Amino acid sequence: MDRRKGLPSPADKVVTTMNIYKKKRIIILFLLPAVLGMAVFVYYPLIQSLWNSLFEWNLFSSDKSWVGLENYRSIFTDGNIWITLRNNVLYAVISVICQVLIAMVLAACLEEVFMRKFQPFFRTILFLPSLISMTVVAILWKAIFNPNTGLLNAFIHAIGFTDITPQWIGDANIAIFCCIFISQWQGMGYCMLLDLIGIQKIPAELYEAARIDGAGTVKRFFYITLPMGKESMLVTSLIIVIGSFKLFTEIQVLTGGGPGRATEVLATAMYRAAFTNDKMGLGSAYAILIFVITMILSLIQLKVSRSGQE
Amino acid sequence: MKRKILTCMLTAALAASALLAGCGGQDGGDASDPEQGGNVSDGGEEEEITLKLFHNWTMDTDVAYFEEAAKAFHDTHPNVTIEIANIGDPDYSSKLKVMLGSDEAPDMFFTLSGEYLYKFQRAGSVLDLTKYYENDSEWNDSFIASAKVPFETGGGIYGVPFRIITKQMVYNKDLFEQQNVEVPTTWEEFMEVCETFKNAGILPQAFGDLEAWAACHFMTTFNALCVPDEVRKADCDYTTCEFTDPGYVQALYMLKDMQDKGYFTPNTNAIDFDVAREEFLIGNAAMAYLENIEYIDVENAGINAGIFSIPAPEGAAGNDKLVTGSPDGFAISSSCKHPELAVEFLKLLTSKEWQEKALNMSCTSSIKGTHNSENSNELMLKDVEICENATGFANWMDADIHSDIADVYLPGMQEIIAGTVTPEELMEKVQAAAAEVRASAAEQ
């Protein structure tokens, strides 16, 4: 009937839809907005930053003088770069330990039968900090770290250590750990929640079978939870390590890179070069350095994780 | 293979987002500013003109002051509209630099004096106002004598002083009376006063240095007291800076002494300046080194306070007739199409009437005869007296020396306070930075 009337049958419709995917022009049309967006907002600034890093220039003057790789040389001959890189690496390592490993352990604990009753309570408590803006978190902890009036030293004194008064963010040796700590305080709950969802997706039969075979809590964690959650942990650690090299807010608000340059990281060094010291070329060179480091790390992690499918 | 290329591209995109965080290129400014100029010439009618003003006051009352001034100017110049944009510190400086390099440059903008302004002059971003001062001698003479000096560079005057920010030691008169101590007139007496308070269990000075600029204000004063004027001026000039005078080391030792003897708020490097200041405002500290814009807070806190200038150590080679601080004000950008109207507006802001209104913003006027016992408190009047008797200003060090040198000097002061670096070691680093700045200036 349909054919006689010249109307397409349902089978024809499928064929027509399939044909759309075969037409190159249609494919290009659909891809164009995304490709254009990437080109304008990602690749163009990237290339421009690379080009800019080869000049000495500032924002308020049109003069640009070619200096070649001089900006890169000055980054690596400045004694502070190694402290800066050490701080970024410290942040990455501690963040992976806390937000990938410890968060997974926490999630597994909350998923245990005896904790199920309290799970919503702990989930909320641990997740709440990640809803607060990092600037607010940093200001809050600045008050807590205040060695004279802050809660932390008051607590230390209250439990009997009256002769210990750490300077926290005022002490060059401790300050970076304070900055790293507040990030973990904020980020762990979020990662734990992601892990919790991951664990809940693991088929219950696996745990049941393990239990029948006599596996205890610890064994179930190592032989089921960890292998099954490996993929999501790799993705989380990828995001965390890349984020570690873009670290800015915590440091800028809490210590401004001080005391001295003890808590400087790549992004604060970039900001200082570009906007405080009016060296946009040097700032661009720092940006390229951050890009190269994060790019290499991303490639390594994708290679190691084999897939990156999830 | 295609898959690999795609993976690489996606990875690059992910990593490249790092770049978006900081360097936004030349058009990184806020796009909210309306279009430039607005010169619509309509037949025989008067041309409609828009002048853009950019400042860094954010308090409601202060913002209203500028809006009212713009309205008053519009009443007398109906064809001129002043469009105001503002943003608070520390973002102000960053945004200003972005704007000056773009098509969105403001016609008039707030500026500090000294090197902060000089670098705009070197870049050709600001207008020389010398002829406007010369053509209006009444306006020219209305300023406090020393106020225009820090706006002068390269043989021209590049700004209009709006207010004077100074720093003086503010003391709690009640605590001084209670401990039976007098206002010190020599450095040695000053140290004795601090010691008396310390022994009495009263914090001598409320001071926190979590942000490096705080100690920099002390060093501005100490350098002025210990280093001969001409040497300090040469060191502030990026083509001749050396920082080899022994006065610089002496000045750092003055800071270190006060820290080592326990005259500052404990754990100095870990405390915000503002948080430390509260100790003074609640009457727990005998003194605090404060700017005149903070006198209003002292008054509101109900502290019976007085001010004095930090006295010089015996035999110091510097100048004790300088006031620590500087005038700040407004500059006109070189791209301004109607500089004569911009100057007119700045004349309005620096008229006695509008300067008196600005006293609510708690600042010392740059115009002679603005303050009197009816419109200013005792601290402010004393500050004006000190300014009028001064031979000049010791401009804020971080605004006055080259930014590459400040980049080493300022965090170094935190290290002096922490005791991890000696004054001699820090000055060696400063000298090395100065040598690089000099060499780079010679190349240009």
Strand partners, B185: none
Q: Write out chain A's pLDDT in tens, 310 residues.
A: 444 455 555 555 555 555 667 788 888 888 999 999 999 999 999 999 999 999 988 887 777 889 999 999 999 988 889 999 999 999 999 999 999 999 999 999 988 878 888 888 998 999 999 999 999 999 999 999 999 889 999 999 999 998 888 999 999 999 999 999 999 999 999 999 989 988 888 998 998 999 899 888 889 899 999 898 887 788 888 889 889 998 999 999 999 888 989 999 999 999 999 888 888 999 999 999 999 998 998 888 777 766 545 4
Token output for A162: 């009256």
Alpha helices in B265-338 (DSSP H): 273-281, 295-300
Contact B23 A38 (CB under 8 A): no
- Its ipTM equals 0.76
Q: Do A42 and B271 touch (CB under 8 A)?
A: no
Asked if A295 lies within 8 A of B15 by C-beta distance, the reply is yes
Query: For each of chain B's 444 residues, which pLDDT tens digit applies?
Result: 455 554 445 444 444 444 433 333 333 333 333 333 334 444 446 788 999 999 998 888 889 999 999 999 999 999 999 999 988 877 788 889 888 888 888 999 999 998 889 989 988 899 999 999 999 999 999 998 788 888 998 899 999 999 999 999 999 999 999 999 999 999 999 999 999 999 999 999 999 999 888 999 999 999 999 999 999 999 998 899 999 999 999 999 999 999 999 999 999 999 999 999 999 999 999 999 999 989 989 999 999 999 999 999 999 999 988 999 989 899 999 999 999 999 999 999 999 999 998 887 767 888 988 888 888 888 889 998 888 888 888 999 988 898 889 999 999 999 999 999 999 999 999 999 999 999 988 877
Whether residue B305 sits in one domain with residue B213: yes
Q: Long-range contacts for A107-113 (Cβ within 8 Å, ≥24 apart)? A: A107/A192, A107/A193, A107/A195, A107/A196, A107/A198, A107/A199, A108/A195, A108/A199, A108/A221, A108/A225, A110/A192, A110/A196, A111/A196, A111/A199, A111/A200, A112/A217
- Residue B165 forms beta bridges with which residues? B326
| B313 and B185 housed in the same domain | yes
The pTM for the full model equals: 0.80
Residues of A in contact with B93 (CB under 8 A): 275
Residue B7 at interface with chain A, using a CB cutoff of 8 Å: yes
Q: Report yes or no: B51 at the A interface, CB cutoff 8 Å.
A: no
Query: Do B153 and B67 sit in the same domain of this protein?
Result: yes
Query: Could you tell me if A283 lies within 8 Å of chain B, comparing CB atoms?
Result: yes
CATH number of B308's domain: 3.40.190.10
Is residue A202 within 8 A of residue A164, CB to CB? The reply is no
For B22, the closest of A59, A245, A270 (CB atoms) is A270
Choose among A42, A168, A295: nearest Cβ to B270. A168
Residues 383-442 of B with CB under 8 A from A: 403-404, 407, 411-412, 414-415, 417-418, 420-421
Q: Is residue B381 domain-resident?
A: no
A261 vs B contacts (CB less than 8 Å)? 411
Distances in Å between the Cα of B191 and the Cα atoms of A220, A272, B46, B107 are 69, 36, 65, 48
Q: How is residue B27 annotated by DSSP?
A: T
> Is any Cβ of chain B less than 8 angstroms from the Cβ of A58?
yes
Residue B16 within a domain: no
* Rounded distance between C-alpha atoms, residue A296 and residue B12, angstroms: 9
Nearest CA in chain A to B401: A277
Span A70-304: which CATH code?
1.10.3720.10
Q: Is residue B304 within 8 Å of B379, Cβ to Cβ?
A: no
Q: Are residues B180 and B278 part of one domain?
A: yes
- Bridge partner list, A65: A56
Q: Residue B83 has what DSSP assignment?
A: E
- Give the max Cα distance, chain A: 98
CA distance B186 to B192: 10
Nearest to A246 among B13, B18, B270 (CB): B18
DSSP of A146-175, one letter per residue?
-TTT-HHHHHHHHTT-TT----GGGSTTTH
Helix (H, G, I), strand (E, B) or coil at B205: strand
Question: Which residue intervals of chain A bear CATH 1.10.3720.10?
Answer: 70-304
The span from the CA of A78 to the CA of B238, in Å, is: 20
Whether B14 maps to a domain, the answer reads no
Which two three-digit tokens encode residue B119?
A: 């670098």
Is residue B21 included in any domain, yes or no? no
Question: Are A170 and B271 a contacting pair, CB within 8 Å?
Answer: yes
Q: Do A45 and B418 touch (CB under 8 A)?
A: no
Contacts of B20 in chain A (CB under 8 A): 41-42, 45
Let me know whether B305 and B318 are in one domain.
yes
Same domain, B278 and B424: yes
> In chain B, helix, strand, coil percent, each to 5?
50, 15, 35
Distance between CA atoms of residues B6 and A31, nearest Å: 14
CA–CA min distance B412, chain A (Å): 6
Nearest to B26 by CA among A37, A289, A55, A72: A55
Per the structure, the count of domains in chain B is: 2
Provide the CA B204 distance to its chain's centre, in angstroms: 26
In a domain, B9, yes or no: no
CB contacts of A257 in chain B (<8 Å) are: 411
At B350, the amino acid letter reads: T
How do strand B305-308 and strand B160-172 relate by DSSP bridges? Answer: antiparallel
Q: Are residue B217 and residue B339 in the same domain, yes or no?
A: no
Q: What are phi and psi of A215, to 5 degrees?
A: -75, 135
Q: HSE (CB half, 13 Å, CA atoms) of A245?
A: 26
Q: What angle, rounded to 10 degrees, do the helices at B246-260 and B213-226 form?
A: 130
- Say if A267 is an interface residue toward chain B (CB within 8 Å): yes
User: Which stretch of DSSP H or E encloses residue B331?
Assistant: strand B322-332
Q: What is the pLDDT of residue A103?
A: 92
Phi, psi of B23 (to 5 degrees): -90, 100
Please name every residue paired with B110 in a beta bridge, in sequence order, or none if there are none. Answer: B330
What region, left, alpha or beta, does residue B37 occupy, with left being phi > 0 and alpha being psi -120 to 50 degrees? Answer: left
Same domain, yes or no, for B302 and B367?
Answer: no
Which residues, listed in sequence order, are joined to residue B53 by a DSSP beta bridge?
A: B84, B108
Do B423 and B304 sit in the same domain of this protein?
yes
Answer yes or no: do A49 and B11 touch at CB < 8 A: no
Torsion of the alpha carbons at B184, B186, B191 and B193, rounded to the nearest 10: -20
- Beta bridge pairs of residue B287: B171, B205
Pair of tokens at residue A112: 């245990």
Residue by residue, DSSP assigns B160-202 as: EEEEEEEEEEEEEHHHHHHTT-PPPSSHHHHHHHHHHHHHTT-
CB B366 within 8 A of CB B113: no
Q: Which domain holds residue B339?
A: 49-163+330-373
Q: Chain A contacts of B272, Cβ < 8 Å?
A: 142
Dist CA B356 CA B163 (whole Å): 11
Whether B144 and B260 share a structural domain: no
The answer to the question of residue B297 being in a domain is: yes
Query: Are B104 and B132 in the same domain?
Result: yes
Residue B310 sits in the same domain as residue B337 = no
Residues of B in contact with A276 (CB under 8 A): 403, 407
DSSP structure class, residue B337? S
Element (H, E) at B305: strand B305-308
For residue B51, which of B328, B354, B345, B334 has the smallest C-alpha distance?
B345
**Tokens for B387?**
């300014």
* Beta carbons of B268 and A274 less than 8 Å apart: no
Q: CB distance A142–B272 less than 8 Å?
A: yes
In Å, how far is A90's CA from the nearest CA of chain B?
19
Residues of chain B neighbouring A283 (CB-CB closer than 8 A): 22-23
Determine, for residues A170 and B269 on separate chains, whether the beta-carbon distance falls below 8 Å.
Answer: yes
The alpha-carbon gap from B400 to the nearest alpha carbon of chain A, in Å, equals 13
Q: CB distance A278–B119 less than 8 Å?
A: yes
Q: Is A174 on the interface with B (CB under 8 A)?
A: no
Candidates B28, B29, B95; CA nearest to B58 is B95
Nearest to B22 among A255, A287, A308 (CB): A287
Of A59, A258, A308, the CB nearest to B212: A258
Q: Is A246 on the interface with B (CB under 8 A)?
A: yes
pLDDT of A77-130, one tens digit each? 888 899 999 999 999 999 999 999 999 999 999 888 788 888 889 989 999 999
User: Considering only CB atoms, which chain B residues are within 8 Å of A291?
Assistant: 15-16, 18-19
Q: Is B5 on the interface with A (CB under 8 A)?
A: no
B-chain CB neighbours of A271 within 8 Å are 22
Whether residues A148 and B123 touch (CB distance < 8 A) is answered with: no
Q: What is the residue type of A279?
A: K
Q: 117-156 in A: which are within 8 Å (CB) of B?
A: 142, 145-149
Tell me how crowded residue B1 is: count the other CB atoms within 10 A of its CB.
Answer: 5
Q: How many CB atoms lie within 10 A of CB A42?
A: 19
